[in-house]
Amino acid sequence: MGRSPCCEKAHTNKGAWTKEEDDRLIAYIRAHGEGCWRSLPKAAGLLRCGKSCRLRWINYLRPDLKRGNFSEEEDELIIKLHSLLGNKWSLIAGRLPGRTDNEIKNYWNTHIRRKLLNRGIDPATHRPLTGSDNHQNNNITTAAATTAAVNSSPDIPTTTTISFATTHHLIKQEAEDIKTINDSLDRRKINTHLPENQERCPDLNLELRIGPPHEQDNAMSASYMPHQQSVEYHRQKLVTGGAIICFGCSMGSIKNNNNIKECSCTTSLNGTSSNSTGYGYDFLGLKNVGLDYRSLEMK
């Protein structure tokens, strides 16, 4: 038994919205606010799918939308954010007030992709297109390569090399690792991806430790983990150029847990750090090298 459709397709309009439909949708949302998209079309007298209404409102009718061309600053910001986040258009849009994920996605595919290609940069990896030779590094973008490529462009001012490019892949790796944990029946087998990451990204010394919930820690660590490692168990240190970032703390999930030992990492949630020498500091206001996901969830 499949899922029921989100709407009665037989009785819904499709395609471009008319002025009357727009007016109805705007009037309804002004009166009742957003939400409950499934029931909205009927309540508003629209022969549209709820999803369609939501898309129309978010991408086109919302009053706080910034219409018009993207500025050069927005271009560069999108490029940098894309190098960080990949195709996470909603997260990127969260950093560009008045822009929607759909708008940015379209703009990327039509303009920025070409712009990067003209610069000799692969828009997918943010690596220079020249030299498909370096196979070992194909999966991980090096910060130096990316920024050097960007900086080499005549229309881009020279800036200090920062490490945002690596973080993108780091985040992906983290996500994959977390998924791996969730999927794994035997979580004890999860420990580190260090050798692999070192190989894939020689300028990044990545150390990941991911483990089971702490309650299982005592019993399990005695059997298979050295004590020191169990103390560190609740966090993953991402070591980038000497700066130690606690992934757990950056996710805001562990500091207040009484069951675990106080985290001693050098990164704190308020964006300050005792170690200000790490790469990537103050990029886009993300003081932590470790990306605080919550700060990006602005929508």
- The binding site for DNA (CB under 7 A) comprises 1, 3-4, 6, 9, 13-17, 35-39, 48-52, 54-56, 59-60, 87-91, 101-103, 105-107, 109-111, 299
Helix axes 164-183, 143-152, angle to 10 degrees: 140
SS in 3 state form for 171-227?
HHHHHHHHHHHHHCCCHHHCCCCHHHHHHHCCCCCCCCCCCCCHHHHHHHHHHHCCH
Q: How far is the CB of 36 from DNA (least distance, A)?
A: 4
- Whose Cβ is closer to DNA: residue 101's or residue 217's? 101
Q: How far is the CB of 170 from DNA (least distance, A)?
A: 17
- Whose Cβ is closer to DNA: residue 11's or residue 51's? 51
Nearest to 170 by CA among 89, 245, 249: 245
Bridge partner residues of 71 (DSSP): none
C-alpha distances (whole Å) from 88 to each of 84, 140, 145, 234, 282 are: 9, 17, 22, 27, 21
Q: How far is the CB of 34 from DNA (least distance, A)?
A: 7
Q: Which phi and psi angles does 264 have, rounded to 5°?
A: -110, 20
- Whose Cβ is closer to DNA: residue 87's or residue 276's? 87
Q: What whole-number distance in Å separates Cα of residue 127 and Cα of residue 148?
A: 10
- Whose Cβ is closer to DNA: residue 90's or residue 205's? 90
Q: How far is the CB of 201 from DNA (least distance, A)?
A: 22
Q: How far is the CB of 94 from DNA (least distance, A)?
A: 8
- Whose Cβ is closer to DNA: residue 89's or residue 233's? 89
- Whose Cβ is closer to DNA: residue 102's or residue 205's? 102
Residue 244 three-state SS: strand
- Whose Cβ is closer to DNA: residue 38's or residue 261's? 38
Q: How far is the CB of 176 from DNA (least distance, A)?
A: 11
Q: How far is the CB of 141 from DNA (least distance, A)?
A: 16
Q: How far is the CB of 264 from DNA (least distance, A)?
A: 28
**How many residues appear in the chain?**
299
Residue 80: both structure tokens together: 């940098």
Residue 135: both structure tokens together: 């196979």
- Whose Cβ is closer to DNA: residue 56's or residue 80's? 56
Nearest to 127 by CA among 110, 139, 115, 109: 139
C-alpha distances (whole Å) from 68 to each of 27, 187, 244 are: 24, 50, 42
